[in-house]
Amino acid sequence: MSLIVQKYGGSSVADAESIKRVAKRIVETRKAGNEVVVVVSAMGDTTDELVDLANQVTPLASGRELDMLLTAGERISMALLAMAIKSLGQEARSYTGSQAGLITDARHGSARIVDVSPTRVRAALDAGAIAIVAGFQGFNRGTGDITTLGRGGSDTTAVALAAALKADVCEIYTDVDGVFTADPRVVPTARKIDRITSEEMLELAAAGAKILYIRAVEYARRHGVTLHVRSSFNNNEGTLVVNPTDGESVEEPIISGVAADLSEAKITIVGVPDVPGKAAQIFTIVASTDANIDMIVQNVSTAATGLTDISFTLPKSDGGTVLKALEDNKAEAGFDSLQYDDQIGKLALVGAGMRTNAGVSAKLFTALFEAGINIEMISTSEIRISVVTRADTINEAVRVVHKAFDLDGDEVAQVHGGTGR
């Protein structure tokens, strides 16, 4: 008997009909002889609607109350899903994050999981029931308050439960067939990846592939959880995200995929004195805002001025906060001026095989050059190369790179729409 954790996003439980459809799939999994734990997000746009309601009341809602409000969403979907399963003759019990033992720190809106004690979930399984758990939410022991895990929190809930329950697999249901070599809406010939390492998946997720959230992949890698990303609209095999052990030999393709991200902006700090400790000082200021900065590039200083420029990328939503923090500390940091550019696109090429394959960068740069696309920033890791281009060239960039590395498949991928969260 296998233990399977299944996670269904908001689009999979958008209305009563969808809930009944998902319930059927869950019951089939149970009847096939598996123990089943289901993690569910709020229905459709419920979370957005609740946020709207809060904004109507006050633009400055406190984190504690916002979490109290938003957790109502999963409470509704999980109760309805449990009812739907029971109406098919299978026992089911729904649990809030708190009841499922998802203990977090007290950071409202972006809480981190500190402990997972799914005693009641385990007991429900032992009693032959299907356990339905609210995604996205947890509980802080110190304050006794309800917390939420932030964006992609339901994926994290599913992975954390899979780890704590030692599940055989954690299935992430979405509205596409799996992880693709590129976004099928941009590259219609993109291929579904059957198998990918969590390390590569992490790089793809960090590079903007929205199918899985970084935190969930990180958690899965750290705890050795196997993920299976698949569609809730068919029974096709999706993409397995695996954690090869040291001894295990994995035949890896050189390149797994290409991801693009248009959600970032670039800040350039102009005229930074080129003295030791200056970069540390500046990034301490940036870090104080809790912004998630990504690529950092420092130009070589010209000997004449003793000044240099530092550029970095960050989510557009953090732009204002970071600019303000830098302006407020301008005198102390001693730079000349700030430039803000929100018209950038980021392309990332990911593949564990590039570790041992020289020439990947050269091939990437050549493909972009031949398409007339200018590269503004470059950053690399062991299994990833990222470049920043103008936003309006990013889709063309993805297509030429995808082709250059022979990633195109024979068929045109099926896309159901939505972002697959």
Which residues are near a copy of itself by CB under 8 A?
A: 16, 19-20, 50, 53-54, 56-58, 60-62, 64-66, 68-69, 71-73, 75-76, 78-80, 82-84, 86-87, 92-94, 96, 99, 120, 144
| Closer Cβ to a copy of itself, 57 or 114, answer by number | 57
| Closer Cβ to a copy of itself, 100 or 229, answer by number | 100
For residue 78, give the nearest of 60, 102, 94 by alpha carbon.
94
What's the min distance (Å) between Cβ of 106 and a copy of itself?
Answer: 14
For residue 128, give the nearest of 35, 2, 7 by alpha carbon.
35
Q: Rounded CA gap, 232 and 238, in Å?
A: 10
Q: At what angle do helices 394-404 and 360-370 cross, to 10 degrees?
A: 130
Q: Rounded CA gap, 386 and 378, in Å?
A: 6
Is 96 in contact with 134 (CB distance < 8 Å)?
yes
| Closer Cβ to a copy of itself, 13 or 383, answer by number | 13
Pairing state between β 146-148 and 137-139: antiparallel
Amino acid making up residue 140 = N
| Closer Cβ to a copy of itself, 13 or 193, answer by number | 13
- Per-residue tokens: 206: 């960090």
What's the min distance (Å) between Cβ of 387 and a copy of itself?
Answer: 43
Pairing state between β 3-8 and 169-174: parallel
| Closer Cβ to a copy of itself, 85 or 242, answer by number | 85
What's the min distance (Å) between Cβ of 401 and a copy of itself?
Answer: 46
Which residue reads 């095989």 in tokens?
Answer: 353
Amino acid making up residue 286 = V
| Closer Cβ to a copy of itself, 93 or 192, answer by number | 93
What's the min distance (Å) between Cβ of 102 and a copy of itself?
Answer: 15
Is 223 in contact with 168 (CB distance < 8 Å)?
no
What's the min distance (Å) between Cβ of 43 and a copy of itself?
Answer: 9
| Closer Cβ to a copy of itself, 134 or 182, answer by number | 134
For residue 365, give the nearest of 383, 347, 351, 353 by alpha carbon.
347
- Per-residue tokens: 375: 């590269």
What's the min distance (Å) between Cβ of 92 and a copy of itself?
Answer: 8
| Closer Cβ to a copy of itself, 99 or 263, answer by number | 99
Phi, psi of 13 (to 5 degrees): -130, 40
Which residue reads 């958690």 in tokens?
Answer: 219
What's the min distance (Å) between Cβ of 98 and a copy of itself?
Answer: 9
What's the min distance (Å) between Cβ of 420 and a copy of itself?
Answer: 24
Q: Which H or E run includes 28? A: helix 16-31
